[in-house]
Structure 1
Amino acid sequence: MIPPLVLPPSLTEAVQALPDKDRHRLTKALESLHTVNSRLWEAEDRVRAAGVDPAAVADAKRAIDQLNAERNQLAERADEVLTTLATAGSGEVPVHTETIAGSLDRLSVLTLRVFHTERAAERDDLMARRVPMLHHQRDELAAAIDVLTVEVTSGRRRLPGAARHKLYGRDQGAPISVRPARGIDRVVAFGGLSECGKSTSAQYLVDFHGAQRLKIGYLLQQGALRHGLSDPYQLSALRQAELLLEELNRFADGHRDVRLFTIESVHDDASITELKKLMGEVLQIVYLDAEFDVRAARSGTSPQAVAAKDEVKLSRGAHRVLEVADFVLDNTGSILDLRAWLTRIAQRPAIEPDQSPTAIPQSPELPAIVADATAALADALRAAGPAVQLAALTGSPVQSTWIPGWSDVDLLVVADHDAAPIVHRALADYRRRLGDAASVGLTLVTADELLAHRLVPRLAFALYNIQSGQPVLHRAAGLHLPAITLDDLARAAVRELPQVIITLRRLRAEATPGSVRQLYKHIVLAARLILREHGQWTSGPDEILAAASHLPGLDPLDLPTLHHVADAWRDGAPDNALTVVTAAADRLLAWYALQLAA
């Protein structure tokens, strides 16, 4: 247990006015600084102990160097926030001899000295006589920091630069060859000045693309600790890049389910350039650009505070990252535009053209009228030229599971936005040719929407099947489709399942003989999505329902086969199936509610 570091009143008041993000960052830095100073005190005591082994002294010296490096970095981190308290003044304003964090560092050490001296005073009269003097010194230092805070915030005093440029350890290691781990598909590194949107952009990739966020500082510190280096920032740019990649590989090896990573904050053009040489196209450097006024308005604090943060980043070369970036994104426009670019950057390379074969479905179960109408549709869409890039059927027509009177036709078309009238005319003719043989559902999207990954879950699943070799009706030369992974489908299942459950619950509440078909299909869809969440990739309604009956805690659904339900529907006797279908819906909905309640 160590005594707390108590901030002087004026500084406490000034800190409370900071934005939450900066206040929490400062609190964490100062708490860590105080803890490191306590560990330093203990390490130095171990070195001074009588009879200590020389090897233990060497170990303790390395620990002291490492702790001193951390101490300086934490003080710099605290100053990055504390300098934002300064009110802009002229160059004639006198400069203080040290930063606020430098004074707080001394206050931390003095607080620890009082604490240890008071403990020693219990058995040493000399120590007891020192205690009042040390309390007086601490009170005077706290008062001086109070005065300094008032002068800085009022513009009557300037603070010196926060960078300490301490040198602990040298880059003596032999060059090593590091390559990205096989488990890393893509790393997106974000650079830019203060409040440009780095954290928000990285969090978007976490929320919507399953990325793992990492900080460059964290990776470097971990690498330094592993190699016994005190200050990784004093190493060459190449050695820093090697440490970064070593730790990134180590993290990826321990988290095999993560394929996409983001790293922040890129404030040094030299080391990120070296990292790019090591990682190649696996690493995508993104510089987020925004005018100062825009960034200041977003910050929720004063323009002076943002400018102070910028000065720290500029001193490290943050502005030069723009020159080596793979992408420079203007983050002053539409959030949709920004997210579309982020998605394209984060995704695996699009599937090369001509990967999917083209064919008209001709399975024995498919009625001739459906096959003939589909062939005419393919001709009509192909005749539209480059405006229509892809046409494909999904579901039972291409999976040889067609059931007359039960199955639908689901049509996916990728076309330019301006081509919508052409597509709808072709669709109207398709419906006319089909007559009562089947109903048609259309999904019409643009190629840009696909590449920006603006995908509803069933569209993602259709694209996955296409990239797996399922035939399409028409595919234009040069069309690239986004690569869809099983992880993408698993995330899509998580997003889609709540809506499917809500629809299933509504259909069950309104169940009539006429709704048997929809109710049955939604039971199958919900079961398929639940299985995907459990890592089971089952296809076919009967197989899905059988697999779902083995989920932990779920009683068998006891549904007849698809053909039995479809026959009852087609023969005009849905009453025969309604009872068992609604009972299965009840069991599945009750089980789902119990899982969430748990």
Structure 2
Amino acid sequence: MTQNSPPLLLPPGLARAIATLQDKDRRRLDDTVTRLHTVNRRLWDTEDRVRGALLSAAQVADCKREIDQLNAERNALAERADEVLGSLADAGRADAPLHTETLASVVDRLSVLTLRIWHSERAGARDELTRRRIPALRSQREELCAALDVLVTDVVAGRRRLPVPARFKLYGRDDITPTEIKPSRHLRRVIAFGGLSECGKSTSADFVRRMCGAQRLKIGFLLRQAAHREGLADPYALSARRQAELLLGELNRFADAHVDTRLFTIESVHDDTSIAELKQLMGDLLQIVYLDASFAVRVERSGTPAQAVAAKDEIKMSRGAHQVAALADHVLDNSGSIAALRARLRRITAPPAATALRVATPYGLGLPAAIASATADFTDAVRAYGPGVRLVALTGSPGEGTWIGGWSDLDLLVIAEHEVTGRVHEALEQYRTALNGAASLGPTLVTPGELTARRLTPRLAFALHQLQQGRPVLHTAPGIELPTISRDELALAAVRELPQVILTMRRLRAEAGPATLRQLYKHLVLACRLLLREHDQWEPGPDLILAAASRMPGLTALSVPSLAETSSAWRDGDTEPVLKPVTAAVDQLLAWYAAQLAA
């Protein structure tokens, strides 16, 4: 595209008429006319380029394809402009004389004449004949503007009618129906990374690939694939719209071939015009992320001389890389820590969502009166801290309604801003004192930022998943946003958590005795729960979990007393009848697990 070419200035009469349109129509017309003028600039440049004597036959063919594409865009935009401009006409005068062309056709002529004057002024510096023509061209433009204003006045007053705006242009074979390319239904989300040299595009895309399971693609690779498929010598010579269509076509093919992939990334975005066109084709399915960092930071990170980074910047900026920031959905300052960058990326790739949570009182969770009262006091205390405390919930057995006195823990989740965590800790100490040993308190205190950045332990992820499934909370702030935790994520979390659970269970087995029964049993249930998640089985409660685990391939059925029997023996201090079968079940599971991994 020609640099610094002139804008299209509409004559005053037309501008005043357009100002009477509704805001929506006015914005649509402004966008359409601007794009029409841009297409005319590109068409001029391409027609100049195709006349080059040194072009190969393949390059000439590419230019011809681009000219056809631009002409098709030009006619489509003119028709779109006439859809709006036609509303200016007074439809009540059917007997008014018919004008020879539409208002958009005149605007299109004005656009071309504007470009002709500008090119002639540039050429006139070295060609005397061209310089002599410039006054006549300027006079033509003045006359065309005046004639257009008169036409607009007559059309608005009903003294002149406009012809039907449809142009019925044909491009290519008449047996092919042109269709606008649309995103495939399998193309769910695409993140495009832009920025100057050494800004962190590749690092960010690789992080999203590793942590979010994204399919990572390069824009250059996609265009080369499209060029090979379409028989193009140089896809970069095509119009921005055509490049965007080629990119979307290749993304659709990848998405249709990988239907389980929910996220794609593309890099590196160096052309602001083509990414703008791709955004128009894809809408919110495409999120443009621009990574920004100072020149000094980028030089330091690169480990190369400043001149090398500046040279790369100059090439990228000549293509419009720096202008992508104005189009971006997210502009990230990548001058700080990697933790800050990754937190922003996780929020973009998996944005938190407003969650409808079920609120209950401690007295509705099946807790003893004294424990419910202490829990209610704690909830009231932290609720008084204001919006800084976002959520309070008892997870695990209290949330499931299976809490057993003398056996179950109080697993407490508190989401609070960092500024109030000190006061929350004070309230926790008061809560622990009020419990007076009636139950063991296991608090988890996290900030909203940790959640939206998805810095989650597997157990915390499972607790959030339970809340999404309708487990009750004791307190929640209005409009709270939580990360959505899918079953697939929990299955992956199980893979990460299981090794630590097995190590702990092996240590507890070595120390097996009456004092370790409770922990040994709970780790046996937890290990089986995690193994079942890997098999996409989701059983509630220890008894069902152990029964389902007994059916895993190659594992001898686990003969374990029920939860009621085990917890009763623990509370009564008569652990011998249950300790032996629990220990035997642990031995079975550890031996089976070792055999599975050795295989």
- Note if contact 1:175-1:239 (Cα within 8 Å) is conserved in structure 2: no
Distance 2:221 2:177 in 1: 23
Let me know the Cα RMSD of the aligned residues: 2.6
Query: Post-superposition shift, 1:391?
Result: 0.6
Count of residue correspondences: 432
Offset, 1:462: 1.3
Structure 2 residue identity aligned to 1:319? H
Q: Work out whether 1:278 is the aligned partner of 2:250.
A: no
Distance 1:372 1:178 in 2: 62
Give TM-score, length-normalised by structure 1.
Answer: 0.67
Report the Cα distance in structure 2 between the residues aligned to 1:506 and 1:395, rounded to whole angstroms: 24
Specify the alignment match of 2:211 in structure 1.
Answer: 208
> Does residue 351 in structure 1 map to residue 362 in structure 2?
no
- Paired with 2:270 and 2:365, the residues of 1 have a C-alpha distance of 63
The aligned counterpart of 2:240 is 237
Q: C-alpha offsets along residues 75-114 of structure 1, whole Å, 9 cap, x if unaligned?
A: xxxxxxxxxxxxxxxxxxxxxxxxxxxxxxxxxxxxxxxx
Alignment of 1:120-131 (within 5 A): none
Q: 3-state DSSP class of the match of 2:402?
A: coil
Counterpart CA distance in 1 for 2:204 and 2:178 is: 34
CA drift of 1:345 comes to 0.9
Quote the Cα distance in structure 2 between the aligned partners of 1:351 and 1:557. 41
Correspondence for 2:328 among 317, 325, 328: 325
State the match for 1:463 in structure 2: 464
Alpha-carbon distance in structure 2 between the residues aligned to 1:527 and 1:247: 43
1:471-495 alpha-carbon deviations (Å, 9 max, x no partner): 2101112322222222222222222
Report the CA distance between 1:328 and its aligned residue.
1.8
Partner of 1:262: 265
Contact 1:171 1:239 in 2 (8 A): no
* Distance change (3 Å), C-alpha of 1:466 and 1:194: same
Query: What residue is the counterpart of 2:506 in the other structure?
Result: 505
Contact preservation (8 Å) 2:193, 2:291: yes
Residue 229 of structure 1 and its aligned partner are, at CA, apart by: 4.1
Question: SS of 1:214's equivalent?
Answer: strand
Q: Which range moved further: 484-493 or 264-273? A: 484-493
* Structure 1 residues not aligned, in runs of 5+: 1-63, 70-169
- In the superposition, the TM-score normalised over structure 2's length comes to 0.67
**Greater shift in the superposed pair: 537-546 or 512-521:** 537-546
Match of 2:424 in 1: 423
Question: SS at the partner of 1:588?
Answer: helix
In structure 2, the partner of 1:496 is 497
Give 2:341's aligned residue.
338
Give, in whole Å, the separation in 2 of the partners of 1:358 and 1:251: 44
**Residue 250 of structure 1: how far off its partner (Å):** 2.9
**Distance change in 2, residues 1:230/1:526 (3 Å):** farther
Deviation of 1:361 (Å) = 4.4
1:531 aligns with 2:532: yes
- Residue equivalent to 1:552: 553
Counterpart residue number, 2:569: 568
The Cα of 1:191 is off from its aligned counterpart by 1.0
Tell me the distance in 2 between the aligned counterparts of 1:582 and 1:274. 65
CA distance in 2, matches of 1:198, 1:364: 49
SS of 2:353's equivalent? Answer: coil
User: Aligned match of 2:297 in 294, 297, 313?
Assistant: 294
The AA in structure 1 aligned to 2:236 is: Y
Q: Corresponding residue for 1:43?
A: none
Alpha-carbon displacement from aligned partner over 1:264-301 (angstroms, at most 9, x marks no partner): 11111111112222222222211112233332332244
| Inter-CA distance 364–306: structure 2 relative to 1 (3 Å threshold) | closer
Task: Tell me the equivalent position of 2:477.
Answer: 476
Give the counterpart letter for 2:317 in structure 1: L
Q: In the TM superposition, what is the alpha-carbon distance from 1:171 to its structure 2 partner?
A: 10
Matched, 1:376 2:412: no
Name the % identity: 62
Q: 1:425 to 1:291 in 2, by over 3 A?
A: closer
Q: Matches of residues 10-159 of structure 1 in structure 2 within 5 Å? A: none
Are the structure 2 counterparts of residues 508 and 387 from structure 1 closer, same or farther at C-alpha, using a change threshold of 3 Å? same
The 8 Å contact of residues 267 and 316 in structure 1, kept in 2 or not, is answered as yes
1:310 to 304, 308, 313: 313
Alpha-carbon deviation of 1:243?
2.6
1:192 to 179, 184, 195: 195
Give 1 or 2 for the bigger CA radius of gyration: 2
